[in-house]
Structures are given as C-alpha cells and as structure tokens.
A and B are shown apart, each in its own frame.
Chain A
Amino acid sequence: MLTLENLTITQGGFRLTADWQAKAGARIAVIGPSGAGKSTLLSVIGGFFAPQSGRVLWQGADITGLEPGARPITTVFQDQNLFPHLTIAQNLGLGISPNLRLTANDHARIETALDRTGLAGFGPRKPAQLSGGQQSRAALARALLRDKPVLVLDEPFAALGPALKAEMLGLVAELSHDSGATVLMVTHDPKDALAFAPLTCLVAGGAAHAPQPTADLLANPPPELAAYLG
C-alpha cells in the first residue's frame, strides 16, 4: 500500500495537496494539465523534493525522509536515464550495485534483463549508439534489475512515436505484472491511460485527486479534465 498522507507541496507560489492510498500492484496513470504538478508529485514520491508537510508511506512505513536511492521506488525520468560515458551493461549494473561491484551472477542477470527488453547484444555499447526507443528499453531493463515494488514513470516515452510508445507501455505492463510492482505513470494521452492503467489520478486545481477507475473518469470528466481533454 502506497500512502500519501496529508501531503502539501509548495514551490514558490505553487501549491499542491494529496491525500490518498493506492493498493500494492496497482497501475495508476497520472494525468492533468501542463504545470498542474504531475512531475512535482512524482518527485516528492521519488524523494527528489521534500513536501512542506505530510508523509509518504509504503506498507505503513514512513519513507518521507529517506534518500531517493533508499526508497522502495525506481524512478524513470523523461530523459537523462542513462550515463552517456558508461556502457549499457554498466548503466544496468548500477541498478544492482551503485558502485558496480558485480558478481558473475549479476552479469548473468544483466544479460537476462537485456534479453527481456529486446536489447540482447547491446551491453557493450554506449547510450549514444542506441535509438531513443532502445534507450527507453535500457532504462526499463535497469528498473527490472532494481526490482523495487514501486515504479514511477515521469513520461519517459513522450518522445517516442505512437507504435513505439504502445510497445513500451506493453513492456511496462508485462514487467510490472510479473514483478507485481505498483506503477505510477505521468501521461498526456488519455489513450495511454485507458490502455495501460486501470486507475487514474487527476492532478488539477492544486490537488492530486485520489485515483479513480480510468474509464469512468474519462467518460464523465470533471470540468478541469474536460477542459484539458478539449
């Protein structure tokens, strides 16, 4: 269970509140107008930004004060998911051991993760030698290796074409289904939300609302969402 308890997030004149829970294994789309605070909400959950008040809990344990890396969470960012000077295998290895002390078994796991994400043989390459889609796959492969119960995706596929994006969402669904991970994913596209997330959290009007069934929400959108959907 992921709990956002009386969260108040302020940044300059910006203010956002959130107070809800999500079951373990839930797949939640985070949707809302630009600048409403979707990424900020995910930053607070991921540990990159401290809330003004309130707590973030996982399975009842308070994780608000933990460093990002110490949280039971993997974040995949919009960009900068890979270190350009390290090979793909090394980038993945960081998901197992942040100081890259890897055993033979670890290397085997990296190969498996590359296989599962369709990147077999790409281990020795540098990120610049990969296409955008392949880079996203590598980021997901690392998330797989980190094996954290919560996966936070901050629009990592925004730059990909529709077919590639659909493929990636399928991959995320498949991986999270296998691992049972809770997924929060920012998206701009209601079709993505419908295809991928049974639940959707609307971020608008200074609040991140409790997740509701995606289909219902999109069928009867509240005014802010209706305006956004156009």
Chain B
Amino acid sequence: MADRAVTLIAAGLAAAVLLLLLAPLAALGLSTRSLALSEAELAALRFTLMQAALSAGLSVMLAVPVARALARRRFFGRDVLVATLGAPFILPVIVAVLGLLAVFGRAGWVNNGLALLGLPAFSIYGLQGVVLAHVFFNMPLAVRMILHGWQAIPAERFRLAASLGFTPAATLRHIEGPMLRAVLPGAALVIFVICLTSFAVALTLGGGPRATTVELAIYQALRFDFDLGAAARLALLQFALCAAAYAVATRISLPLGFGAGQGRTGGPPAPNGWRRGLDAVFITAAALFLALPLLAVVLNGVPGLRHLPASVWDAVLAAAVRSTLIALASTALALSAALVFALAAARGKGWPALAATLPLAASSLVLGTGLFLILQPLFRPADLALPVTMTINALLALPFAFRILLPETRTIYADYHRLGASLGMTGRAWLRWVVIPRLARPMGFAAGLVAALSMGDLGVIALFAGEGQATLPLLVQRLMGAYRLEAAASAALLLVLISFALFWAFDHWGRRYADA
C-alpha cells in the first residue's frame, strides 16, 4: 500500500504542523532562560488542570451510558438526536454561554423551577459552572466517538455472545469493555486538552479571577503586561501538558482486536426490562441537557430576525458566504491531513498521533500573534486574513478529525491490509475503493465537525481581518459591541443554523454512504 509514501507524506505534514505551532513561539521570543512559574501562574496551572480533568472525566463517564443506549435502541427521532449531538460543540462560546445561562443561570429556567418548588437556588458560577459548560460542549462529542466505537463492533461478536448465553455484564466485560478501553482514553484526551485552553468559558462561569486558566494568563501576558516571552513560555507549558496527557492516554489505551465482520451493523443487543427504562432515562436526560440551552439560543435569536435591518442582513449574508467558503476550504485541508496521519498511525507509528494532537493545545492568541509577527514584515496582514484563517482553522480542527478517523482506519488496516496488498491495490485504488467507503461514516462526522468549527472560530481572523472581511462570528461580536444585542442574537442564530446545516450535510452524507 505504498507504506513508505504514506509515512513520508505524514512526516512532511507533521513537520509542517510542528513548524506552524512552534514558529510563533519562537517569534514571540521564547527563551528557556527562566521556565520557573510565578505563584499566580502556578495557581492558574492548578485550576486549569483541575477543571480540565473534571470536565474530561465527567464528559466521558456520562457519555458511556448515553452512547450505549443510543447504540442499542431504535426510536422515533433517534437520527435527529444523533445529528444534534454535534450542535453544542460547534456553538460560538458567547452564544453557548448565554444559552446555558438562560437555563442554569440566576434568572434561568432551572432556578425559576427550583424557586417555585421552594428549593434553594443553584449557582452556575464557580468550578461547577465551568465543568457544566465543558460537559455541555464536549459530552456530545464523546457520545458520538463512543457510539462509533459501538457501531464498529462487528455484529458477529454480539451474536457469538448471545449464543454463549452472555449476561449483559459479561458482554460488557468481554466485548464492550475492550472497545471502551480502546476508545475512551482518546476521547478523554481530546476533551482534556480542549479544556486546557479554555478561557472565556472558564472566566465567565468560573465567577472571577479564581478561575484563571493558563490561557487567560497568556492573555494577560500579551495584552496587559506585553511580555511576549512570558506568553510563549505559557504556550509551551500548554504543549507540554498536552504531550503529557497524550502519553498517559496512550499508555492506558489498548488497541482493538475484534477482527473484521461481514460489514453487518445492528448494534449491541437491546435487553428489555429495567435496562430498557434506564436507557430511556439516559437518553431523555442527555437530550434535555443538550436541547434546552439550544432552545434558549433559538428563542433568543428568533424575535430579532423579524426586525433585523436590511444592512444587517446584507452584512450577515456576505459574512455567511465568506465564512462558509473558509469553512469548506479548511475542511478539505484538515480532513486530508487527518486521513494521512490516521493512515500512518494505523501502521503502528506513534508520532503521527502526537503531531495530530498537539494543535489542540495551541493557544490561538499566541498562534495568531506569532504568525502576525512573522508575516507582517512581508505582507499586508489584511491580504492574508483568509488564507491564514483557513490554515489555522484546519490546523486547530485537525486533532478532532484525526481522533474520529483513527479507530476505523486502524480496523481497516488490521482487517484488509493483506487482502489489498495481495490484490496489488495501491495508493488511489486503495483509498477510493477501501479506505473512503469504509471510513464514510467517521469522515462525514469529522468533515461536519471541522466545517462547523471553522464557521465559528474567530480567534485568528480578528487579528488579521481588514475592512470588509468580517466573518459571521466577528459580525456577531461587532453587533454586541454596538449594543445591538437582539440583532447579535439573531446573527448568532443564523451562524448556528449555517454551522449546523454544514455539519448535518456532511454527517448525513457519511451515514447515508456508509449504510448504502
């Protein structure tokens, strides 16, 4: 399968990724002269690690029963629910926070309900709020990743289990357990690292400077102290944390050895009785937890749509077109890179996985600032806004795409590499007739996620954007900055709808293609 070519391309890409991640640090004047952290930075580090570990652990723990329930139950609206699982993850932070506050905030639905019942109020502000928001964002992602794991177990294994009279506990131990052992560390790693770089959510819901994360310390270094070296040092710390988390996850994770099936899917058996009721509880609880804040986003945005002035519509449409084009280009870039890394990693190499995970830990502020320093002497920043945004979006989305593609790519390699080789299927034939059809489901999901993420991101373009280059997220921010909160909520709703439409289109394609 032209192993060497894949490895070579992956190595080249890995070098490019590292260059993109590390050159900005160098540009900021990283000096290893003093790597010691100050008291405040240590406190930020402690808080960052604690909230990230709690968020990742809780997201994954809650995701397992939900994913299992979804894997083994068929009910009306299941497909919609599975598709909607992508939605929280792609919400712009401020939109999601306002949605969460509408449900869990001081004046939110939950607290109104508690007050009616005469119960004490729940405060979202504090560590619990940070974790709640991170679980809201990331638990659905974990559900989807674990659900893919369940769907990847060949139906033959479950039939074997049934023929041997396995109890659900034995099935869990011998069939589902190993799958979870293979999938969970990767899912937890991704969520842990995402939460490492959390800043706006952590600060806003954390209730104040107690909730200072490393990313906020970077913000302070760049914006308040203008100490570029300190920012670079903290960014390096984030990479180190990511690499350490990666090492831990790799040690825990065991590769899956199910062997191939006949391509039959049917999911695990669906036991009746109390387990059925419990599954219903998990699915309902998860659906409500995800749907209520989304509903709040919709309710916030709809009233403004009617009297959104024409100028706003024009701006929204222009920005929407621009954002969509950026998103599509970023998706093509990120998915190709993720596929190459996944193919190389499936051949047993460790470094592609690390290279494809590190971008998660990148501080977009440091990345943007560093690239600006590098490029600004050579180009007009505004001329580069779109290419830079596309590249950075692709870079930041690469880890998700990679994680989603990896398990199935490994399975393909283990199950069909010999057969393909014996038939002389190389390069394009192998990709076209084996890899892409068999990866359709995760590829659709990954492409949808990347496209939607690229729609929402504004970290980098804000630094480069010139006149008339506003993307939709930037427009939302501008509307808010101009007191137009209602219009901003409407523009945000449009952003969410377009993101979700993109996500849905890709994801649906993947699932349709895989089922065909």
> Do any beta carbons of A and B sit within 8 angstroms of each other in the complex?
yes
CB of B423 within 8 Å of the partner chain: yes
The CA of A70 and the CA of B422, in the complex, are separated in Å by: 8
CA distance A68 to B3 in the complex (A): 13
Q: What band does the interface of chain A fall in when counting residues whose beta carbon is under 8 Å from B?
A: 20 to 34
Q: Distance (Å) between the CB of B77 and the closest chain A CB? A: 28
Complex formed: what's the CA distance from A80 to B430 in Å?
A: 16
Given A68-B421, A69-B425, A98-B423, A80-B263 contact (CB < 8 Å): no
Give min CB distance, B63 to chain A, whole Å.
Answer: 28
**Which stretch from A1-9, A56-64, A83-91, A182-190 is at the chain B interface?**
A83-91
- Whether the Cβ atoms of B416 and A69 lie closer than 8 Å is no
Contact A67 B421 (CB under 8 A): yes
Residues of chain B lying within 8 A (CB to CB) of residue A80? 259-260, 415-416, 418-419
| B415 contacts across to A, CB distance below 8 A | 80
- The answer for the CA separation of A77 and B262 in the assembled complex, in Å, is 15
Report the Cα distance A95→B419, complex, angstroms.
Answer: 11
Report chain B residues within 8 Å CB of A85: 263, 437-438
Q: What mask results when residues 37 to 70 of chain A are scored 1 for a CB within 8 Å of chain B, else 0? A: 0000000001110000000000000000001111
Query: Among B424, B426, B429, which residue has the most Cβ atoms of chain A within 10 A?
Result: B424
Of A68, A69, A83, A95, the most chain B CB neighbours within 10 A belong to A83
Identity of the chain B residue whose Cβ is nearest the Cβ of A142 in the assembled complex: B423
Q: Within the assembled complex, what's the spacing in Å between the Cα atoms of A70 and B421?
A: 9
Residues of B contacting A: mostly: helix
Interface of chain A residues 82 through 104 with chain B (CB within 8 A): 83-86, 90, 94-95, 98-100
Are B263 and A126 closer than 8 Å at their CB atoms?
yes
Within 8 A of B (CB), among A12-60: 46-48
B440 nearest CB neighbor, chain A only: A85
Q: Roughly how many angstroms separate A75 CA and B420 CA in the complex, as a whole number?
A: 11
Write the chain A residue with the least CB distance to B513: A85
Which listed residue (B259, B264, B416, B418) contacts A83, Cβ 8 A? Answer: B416
Interface residues of B in 386-417 (CB under 8 A from A): 415-416
Interface flag for B428 (CB, 8 Å): yes
Cβ-neighbour of B421 out of A69, A100, A128, A146 (below 8 A)? A69
A99 touches B419 (CB 8 A): no
Any chain B CB within 8 A of the CB of A81?
Answer: yes
B261: Cβ under 8 A from any A Cβ: yes
Q: Does A127 contact B (CB under 8 A)?
A: yes
- Tell me the nearest residue of chain B to A68, going by C-beta: B421
**Does any Cβ of B come within 8 Å of A176's Cβ?**
no
B262 contacts A48, C-beta separation under 8 Å: no
Contacts of A200 in B (CB 8 A): none
Q: Are A95 and B423 in contact (CB under 8 A)?
A: yes
Given A80-B418, A84-B260, A128-B263: A69 in contact with B423 (beta carbons within 8 A): yes
Cα–Cα distance between A126 and B264 once the two chains are bound (Å) = 10
In the assembled complex, which residues on chain A have CB atoms less than 8 Å from the CB atom of B433?
83, 86, 90, 94, 99-100
Beyond the given A68-B424, A128-B263, please list 20 additional residue pairs across the A-B interface where CB-CB is below 8 A.
A48-B418, A67-B424, A68-B418, A69-B425, A70-B424, A74-B422, A75-B418, A75-B422, A80-B415, A83-B433, A84-B263, A84-B264, A86-B437, A94-B423, A98-B425, A98-B430, A126-B263, A127-B262, A127-B263, A128-B264
Contact with B along A121-143 (1 / 0, CB 8 A): 00000111000000000000000
How far is B481's CA from A105's CA once the two chains are assembled, in angstroms?
Answer: 68
Q: Is the CB of B422 within 8 A of A68?
A: yes
Interface string of B257-289 (1 = CB under 8 A from A): 001111110000000000000000000000000
**A99 pairs with B418, CB closer than 8 A:** no
Q: How many B residues, CB 8 Å from partner?
A: 24
Q: Could you jot down 5 A-B contacts, CB within 8 Å?
A: A67-B426, A79-B260, A84-B264, A128-B262, A128-B264
A48 to B424, CA, bound (A): 12
B434 within 8 A of A: yes
Give complex CA distance A31, B428 in Å.
Answer: 38
- Helix, strand, loop or mixed for chain A's interface? loop
Q: How far is the CA of A218 from the CA of B482 in the complex (A)?
A: 93
Q: B residues within 8 Å of A by Cβ?
A: 259-264, 415-416, 418-419, 421-426, 428-430, 432-434, 437-438
Of the residues B260, B261, B418, B425, contact of A94 by C-beta under 8 Å: B425
In angstroms, Cα B422 to Cα A95, docked, is 9
Instruction: Please list the residues of chain A having a beta carbon within 8 angstroms of any beta carbon in chain B.
Output: 46-48, 67-70, 74-75, 77, 79-81, 83-86, 90, 94-95, 98-100, 126-128, 146
Residues of B contacting A128 with CB < 8 Å? 262-264
B261 partner residues in chain A, CB cutoff 8 A: 84
The distance in angstroms between the C-alpha atoms of A94 and B428, with both chains bound, is 13
Determine if B422 and A69 form an interchain contact, defined as CB atoms under 8 angstroms apart.
yes
Residues of chain B within 8 A of A69, CB atoms compared: 421-426
Min CB gap A79→B, angstroms? 8
Residues of B within 8 A of A83 (CB): 416, 419, 433-434, 438
Task: Give the interface centre of B415, B422, B429 by most chain A CB atoms within 10 Å.
Answer: B422
Question: What residue of chain A has the Cβ atom nearest to residue B430's Cβ?
Answer: A98
Chain A proximity of B401: nearest CB distance (Å): 21
Chain A nearest CB, measured from B257 CB (Å): 14
Q: Tell me which of B415, B416, B429 has the highest count of chain A C-beta atoms within 10 A of its own C-beta.
A: B429
By the criterion CB–CB under 8 Å, are A77 and B418 in contact?
Answer: yes
Decide yes or no: A84 and B424 within 8 Å by CB, A94-B433, A98-B429, A100-B433 being known contacts: no
The answer to whether B419 touches A47 (Cβ under 8 A) is: no
B155: nearest chain-A partner, CB-CB: A128
Residue numbers in B under 8 Å from A146 (CB-CB) = 423
Q: Determine if B432 and A99 form an interchain contact, defined as CB atoms under 8 angstroms apart.
A: yes
Residues of B within 8 A of A81 (CB): 419
A74 to B419, CA, bound (A): 10
Q: Report how far A68 CA is from B422 CA in the complex, Å.
A: 5
In the complex, what's the smallest C-beta–C-beta distance from A215 to chain B, in angstroms?
32
Given that A83-B434, A84-B261, A84-B262 are contacting pairs, would A48 and B419 also be in contact in the complex, using a CB cutoff of 8 Å?
A: no
* A200, B221: Cα distance in complex, Å: 77
Please give the distance in Å from A96's CB to the nearest CB on chain B: 10
User: Considering the chains assembled together, what is the distance between the CA atoms of A90 and B67 in angstroms?
Assistant: 34
Shortest Cβ distance from B411 into chain A, in angstroms? 12
Looking at the assembled complex, report how far the CB atom of A100 sits from the nearest CB atom of chain B, in whole angstroms: 6
Q: A83-B416, A86-B433, A128-B262 are in contact. Are A99 and B428 (CB under 8 A)?
A: yes
Distance A48 CA – B425 CA, assembled complex (angstroms): 14
List A contacts of B263 (CB < 8 A): 84-85, 126-128
Nearest CB on A from B410, distance (A) = 15
